[in-house]
Amino acid sequence: MKKHFVYIIMVLLILPLQSCKKKEEVRQVDVLVIGGTTGGISAGLQSARLGVTTLIVEETSWLGGMITAAGVSATDGNHHLHSGIWNEFRQHLRDFYGGAEALATGWVSHTQFEPHIGDRIFKNMAAAEKNLQVVYGYYLVSVQKQENQVVGAIFENEQKEKLIVRAEIVIDATDLGDGLKMAGTAYRLGMDAKAETGEAIALDQANNIVQDLTWVAVLKDYGKGTDQTIPRPEGYDPRDFEGCCDLTVDGNAINCEQMLNYGKLPHDKFMLNWPKKGNDIYLNVVELDRNARNEELKKAKNKTLCFVYHIQQTLGFTHYGLADDEFPSEDRLALIPYYREGRRLKGIVTLNYNHVEKPYQQPAPLYRTGISVGDYPVDHHHKCNPAAPDLYFLPVPSFNVPLGALIPESTDGLIVADKAISVTNLVNGSTRLQPCVLLTGQAAGALAALSVKNKMQARNIPVRQVQKTLLDAGAYIMPLFDVNPKDSYFMAAQRITATGIIRTTGEAYQWANRTWFYPDSVISVAEFTSGLHAFDEKFPVVNNTSFLTIRKLNDILSPFIKEPDPIKSDHPDVFLQRKELAVLLDEYLKPFEREITHEGIYK
């Protein structure tokens, strides 16, 4: 009896110790994506579709990041660039709501939707991929390295349970580039100096100022006669929002109802992401730890609640209340803040303003290495920070993001997606928008999968192999406005313009910039041979302003091509259209097969 009594006492003493032990789970995958953000979900989808085991670890209960969990469900840009996962996601929205017109509910965007529907669509897309798993409720604690190689990461949840993930490739898809810092990878933060970037409109001296952030709310019209007014938030001052409706759009003054219709969503909802005397706020929380960051972000929530109260109490929209069927949060606000800017990787290349403004006039023609496309202007939010310099942004055409902007200068095993890619502060104002970030994430997923399958570091995967993979997945590598994926010559036009043999024409146009291919136009011998010479100097430039024909094309190519037969045609003297030339070059010369460096220089 005495022995049994001692045994029972020992068990009772040991059990509490065992129950206090933290739960720990270890997983092994090919590709780990840190964050189910806008870039993270597209990276995970593309990686899994290429046949490698992929795991997304997301802190919230939603997928999509800024486009869903942060509530910015009015997309900016790429309406005419029907590329990749962006186009796929948009088509799901159109199918759900009943067509493209059903998404054009507000005047800020062609594509506006309820955030929870976006989350549902992303989760359905993820569930369809057998190689993709998603874990929710875990936040990043550390990035694991062996010497210079990232080999995984450690996560925790609110119950202090650990998730340890080991992976061949890790993708940092966090909003602020938290994985970069934890991995000891070099990055930039804030505004750049022109001496470093070579951008004439950059500052003389760098600083650490980032863009204003926003904690988004979604209001719902509960019907006239109802009163949805929230309690007066602490610190509310109506003077903070004076002039929020004083705006001229396209030469016409707007009223307060029109201001709210800026972000009108389906089902009589209204996205509050309003920069002019609205709910933008300057908080530089990037380098704070998680607890300090969350504490500071309470100010952003309060700013939005004050704006909601102002709309209800001062502007008179008492029937507009916080939507009760959107975010699964106690305060009915978005799950996370909308960060416009955080850390920016120091990659093996850095996309700067000059590359976007004049892509053909740069020593490093990065456009040749494009992996995602965007058409949004350079747009920064700095109205809430009096210390922020007032920069004037010159107009730019649409652009593409180079592959090298996703790859660290020296750290192996790591690829960067979402907004933390290697771009200058100025260019971040264009690359940060939702469709472009979705496509950049897709490219990150493709690169990661190819790295795993080829057993090579990401920096050693050929640029053209990544671009070919993306084209095969329905994504653009060149931002061609007037060539649609349904066109028979789409692939040829994408490949040939990426070689630079046929050059495009950029146009800064309102809030949706353009790059023209002019497929039905003709091309002069001089223009063609100039592009051909830039591709390979063995081809001489012929200063002949006459238009190119099949006969002239054969005369130019035949001395340098091993093919025994010239290009055949029943009409050898008819002027060639640019789309026809692209197809012929793609089939006959095959210039896209010639490999290039990450700087866009031919090997």
Task: Collect all residues with Cβ–Cβ distance below 8 Å to 516 and sequence separation of at least 6.
Answer: 480, 481, 482, 504, 505, 506, 507
Closest CA to 45 of 116, 134, 107, 114: 134
CA of 426: how far to CAs of 53, 87, 362, in Å? Answer: 36, 26, 17
Task: Collect all residues with Cβ–Cβ distance below 8 Å to 120 and sequence separation of at least 6.
Answer: none
- What is the predicted pLDDT for the residue at 253? 79
- What is the predicted pLDDT for the residue at 565? 74
**What is the average pLDDT value for the chain, to the nearest integer?**
94
Amino acid at 288: L
What does the angle CA 62 – CA 65 – CA 66 come to, to the nearest 5 degrees? 130
Give residue-wise pLDDT tens across range 469-493.
999 999 999 999 999 999 999 999 9
Residue 366 confidence (pLDDT) above 60? yes
Least confident of 74-88, 541-555, 560-574: 560-574
pLDDT grade, residue 16 (50/70/90)? low
For each of the domains in the chain, give its residue range(s) and CATH number, in order of start.
25-191+343-476 (3.50.50.60), 213-322 (no CATH), 525-576 (no CATH)
Give residue-wise pLDDT tens across range 91-125.
999 999 999 999 999 999 999 999 999 999 999 99
pTM of this prediction? 0.95
Mean pLDDT within 401-412: 98
Give residue-wise pLDDT tens across range 198-208.
999 999 999 99
Residues paired with 24 in a beta bridge: 162
Residue 410 confidence (pLDDT) above 90? yes
Give residue-wise pLDDT tens across range 268-279.
999 999 999 999
CA of 95: how far to CAs of 99, 101, 126, in Å? Answer: 6, 11, 18
Amino acid at 190: G
pLDDT grade, residue 560 (50/70/90)? confident
Give residue-wise pLDDT tens across range 378-404.
999 999 999 999 877 888 999 999 999
Give residue-wise pLDDT tens across range 64-79.
999 999 999 999 999 9
Give residue-wise pLDDT tens across range 300-345.
999 999 999 999 999 999 999 999 999 999 999 999 999 999 999 9
Contact 170, 414 (CB under 8 A): yes
Q: With DSSP H G I counted as helix, E B as strand and the rest as coil, what are the percentages for the chain, rounded to 5?
A: 35, 20, 45
- What is the predicted pLDDT for the residue at 13? 53
Residues 146 and 113: their CA atoms lie apart, in Å, by 43
Q: How many CA atoms lie within 13 A of 510 on its CB side?
A: 9
- What is the predicted pLDDT for the residue at 5? 52
Percentage, residues of the chain above pLDDT 90: 91
Residues 294 and 296: their CA atoms lie apart, in Å, by 5
Dihedral in degrees, nearest 10, Cα atoms 493, 495, 497, 502 = -80
Three-class secondary structure of residue 15 per DSSP: helix
In the 3-class helix/strand/coil scheme, how is 168-188 assigned residue by residue? EEEEECCCCCHHHHHCCCCEE
Residues 53 and 580: their CA atoms lie apart, in Å, by 41
